[in-house]
Amino acid sequence: MSNRAPQIVALGGGGFSMERDSSLLDDYVLSLTAASRPRVCFLPTASGDADHYVVRFYRRFSPTCDASHLSLFRRDQGTDGVEDDLATHLLSQDIIYVGGGNMLSMLGAWRAHGLDAILRKAWRRGIVMCGPSAGSLCWFDQALSAFHGAPRIVRGLGLLPYSNCVHYDAEPERRAEYHRFVADGMRPGFAAEDGVALHFRGTDLARVVSSRRDGAAFLVEHDGKRVRETRLEVDFLGGASVLPSSSPVVAPELDEPPAVTHAAGAGPPALSTRQAVAA
């Protein structure tokens, strides 16, 4: 059993699928492994295993990594012996990279193939889990999904006992809906703009990084009277942090937190961040 801490890098949007000229977020994920040539497996399930998405993954990662992918919608399930034993292959990776798309369909396919349990085990072993959009939302207990129709709450894998909202700047209507859902009882949680990633160690938010100088992320919670949005300190990956330091965010007190099933080894369901500045 590995003694590496569980890690998740949840991208609000970005990485190789969105940033053609820069993949600083992907570089950051790769830096979290000690491997000289990391083993990276791509799960494009949320896109229906779109061929163009898989090709772009290999173009980005195969020059410097032992890259593979896992397909649930193709007869050929992948490369590098994936189809022989899904669990063995995934649990041998340094990074599992989940693509964007339809989160609800992705979770259904994962559960049908037993991947939900395998991914929980991979996370506990310290394999770095990451992804943008649906590849971010899936790790949380609750997520705001707007892939089809009006925004709705979708239950994720529950590795992180918070809620999550992505594309916070690219799709402005998500902000209003996220605030509304949190006001109505959705778990407090984190919102990230495109080009911004939330890095969790265990269930604590350890760092927020951005490939953009003006990228932002927020802690969103209900203080008993109204929804409060607190801007988090963000480290720009192209240089020094562009936001000033301030006092730590105080974790919200939940008298009766919503029920959540925690993976073994998960920390307590209290929000923890590095530092923040008032929005």
β-strand partners of 192: 217
Query: 């407090």: which residue's tokens?
Result: 188
Rounded distance between C-alpha atoms, residue 73 and residue 64, angstroms: 27
**Residue 103 contacts by C-beta under 8 Å, 6 or more apart in sequence?**
46, 134, 137, 138, 143, 145, 147, 154, 156
pLDDT at 76 over 70: no
Does position 22 have pLDDT exceeding 80, yes or no?
no
pLDDT tens, position by position, 145-171: 877 677 889 999 999 999 999 999 887
Nearest by Cα to 97 from 49, 26, 12: 26
Catalytic site positions: 133, 167
The pLDDT of residue 254 is 38
pTM over 0.95: no
Q: 133: which DSSP letter?
A: T
The pLDDT of residue 92: 95
Query: Is residue 3's pLDDT more than 90?
Result: no
CB atoms within 10 A of CB 135: 30
Residue 10 has pLDDT above 50, yes or no: yes
pLDDT at 79: 56
Report how far residue 197's alpha carbon sits from residue 193's, in angstroms, rounded to the nearest whole number. Answer: 8
Torsion of Cα atoms, 73 then 76 then 80 then 81, to 10°: 100
Q: Extract the runs of DSSP E, i.e. beta strands, from the chain.
A: 7-11, 39-43, 66-69, 95-98, 128-132, 140-145, 152-155, 160-165, 189-192, 196-201, 204-210, 217-222, 227-232, 235-236, 276-278
Burial class (CB in 10 A: 0-12, 13-18, 19+), 260: middle
Segment 166-218, tens digit of pLDDT:
999 887 788 999 999 999 999 999 999 999 999 999 999 999 999 999 999 99
Say whether 152 sits in a helix, a strand or coil.
strand
Measured at the alpha carbon of residue 124, what is the angle toward residues 216 and 6, in degrees to the nearest 5? 35
Between strands 235-236 and 204-210, the pairing is parallel
User: Stretch 214-234: mean pLDDT, rounded?
Assistant: 96
- Give the residue from 144, 44, 59, 138 showing the smallest Cα distance to 97: 44
